[in-house]
């Protein structure tokens, strides 16, 4: 299934049904009078977060969604049927943004969370509604209120416990395939990973977490360079960042500062998230060089940030890295969650 994390769609809630203008005319009924019923309410448009979805591909080939209109009223004070609500299923972590791509309308962060975004129009009144002591035979009926319409952007931000970030070819996909059953594409050229990959890391019977392999970042990513800011948004949902650095590079400090600068440039609190620095590919360098590069990274990282050597190929150091991740994730889970933006 193709991964799609943002799309633009058109929404239109149902119009209210027209009220009826009718008079009661029955044999042997001396006084008839108005008996036009009200129109039915138009259908709402709602979003529901489904935990069995992980892409917005369902909205790639269909972009227009309209709820059903309400039916018109009828004689004998019969109210028209209400239009059916249109419920759109989206993955957990989906944000609904206005057409300007900045105004947040809804944020679905929990499974089965339901949000009514557009309400259907109310039905119009029938002529029986306008009957009064001074107007015994009103010839007036309401047309029904129109529904709401809106162009919105859907943006998916994957909800993972930990996110893998780093320059291209830092070994993120190799590590993910080593510690989980995920099978991302692995190659020796940059930008092999074009879409985020998720894997479940199981340490023991009681400890597991979701690890996200995010596409490689380059200098200027926060300004749109390379894969741009599109995938930086997925880091927002992660509780902990695992920052992988290619140990075979000469300037590991420069590589670290490049990614940290992009996280700070993007904003949204990415630079303040708990971080673990992993010096990868230690199987390809001398042990003395490993220690020198770890010592060089320790002063430039934030105080208290662990710098751990590992190898995604040989497996060296991976248990220590996973243990540090599990500890940091457990600490993040203890913090109270913020309230959702919109509830319905």
Three-state secondary structure call for residue 11: strand
Q: How many CB atoms lie within 10 A of CB 302?
A: 11
Cα separations (Å) of 169 from 222, 244, 256, 261?
Answer: 19, 10, 14, 19
Residue pLDDT, tens place only, 143-200: 999 999 999 999 888 777 888 888 888 888 888 888 887 676 665 655 555 667 777 8
Residue recorded with tokens 């243990």: 323
Q: How many CB atoms lie within 10 A of CB 287?
A: 9
Closest CA to 58 of 172, 156, 160: 156
The predicted structure's pLDDT at residue 207: 82
The predicted structure's pLDDT at residue 79: 95
Residue pLDDT, tens place only, 46-67: 999 998 887 888 898 899 999 9
Residue 44 has pLDDT above 70, yes or no: yes
Residue pLDDT, tens place only, 266-311: 777 788 888 899 999 998 889 899 999 999 999 998 888 899 999 9
Q: Which residue has the higher pLDDT, 328 or 232?
A: 328
Residue pLDDT, tens place only, 6-18: 899 999 999 999 9
pTM to 2 decimal places? 0.70
Residue 341 has pLDDT above 70, yes or no: no
Percent of the chain whose pLDDT exceeds 90: 39
């Amino acid at each position: 299934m193709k991964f799609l994390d943002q799309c633009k769609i058109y929404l239109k809630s149902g119009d209210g049904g027209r009220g009826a203008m009718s008079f009661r005319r029955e044999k042997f009924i001396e006084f008839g009078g108005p008996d036009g019923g009200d129109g039915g309410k138009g259908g709402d448009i709602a979003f529901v977060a489904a935990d069995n979805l992980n892409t917005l591909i369902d909205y790639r080939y269909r972009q227009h969604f309209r709820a059903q209109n309400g039916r018109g009223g009828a004689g004998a004070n019969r109210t028209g049927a209400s239009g059916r609500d249109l419920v759109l299923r989206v993955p957990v972590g989906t944000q609904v943004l206005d057409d300007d791509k900045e105004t947040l309308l809804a944020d679905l962060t929990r499974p089965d969370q339901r949000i009514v975004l557009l309400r259907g129009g109310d039905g119009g009144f029938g002529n029986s509604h306008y009957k009064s002591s001074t107007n015994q035979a009103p010839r007036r009926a309401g047309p029904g209120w129109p529904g709401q319409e809106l162009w919105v952007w859907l943006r998916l931000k994957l909800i993972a416990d930990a996110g893998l970030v780093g320059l291209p070819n830092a070994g993120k996909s190799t590590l993910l395939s080593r510690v989980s059953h995920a099978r991302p594409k692995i190659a020796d050229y940059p930008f092999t990973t074009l879409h985020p990959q998720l894997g479940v890391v199981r340490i023991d019977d009681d400890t597991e977490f979701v690890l996200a392999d995010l596409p490689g970042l380059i200098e200027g990513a926060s300004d749109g360079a390379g894969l741009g800011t599109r995938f930086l948004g997925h880091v927002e949902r992660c509780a902990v960042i695992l920052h992988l650095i290619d140990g075979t590079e000469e300037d590991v400090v420069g590589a670290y500062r490049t990614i940290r600068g992009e996280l700070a440039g993007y904003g949204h609190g990415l630079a303040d998230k708990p971080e673990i620095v992993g010096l990868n590919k230690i199987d390809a360098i001398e042990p003395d060089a490993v220690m020198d590069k770890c010592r060089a990274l320790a002063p430039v990282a934030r105080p208290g940030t662990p710098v751990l050597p590992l190898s995604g190929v040989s497996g060296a150091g991976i248990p220590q890295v996973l243990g540090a991740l599990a500890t940091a994730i457990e600490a993040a889970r203890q913090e109270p969650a913020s309230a959702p933006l919109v509830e319905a």
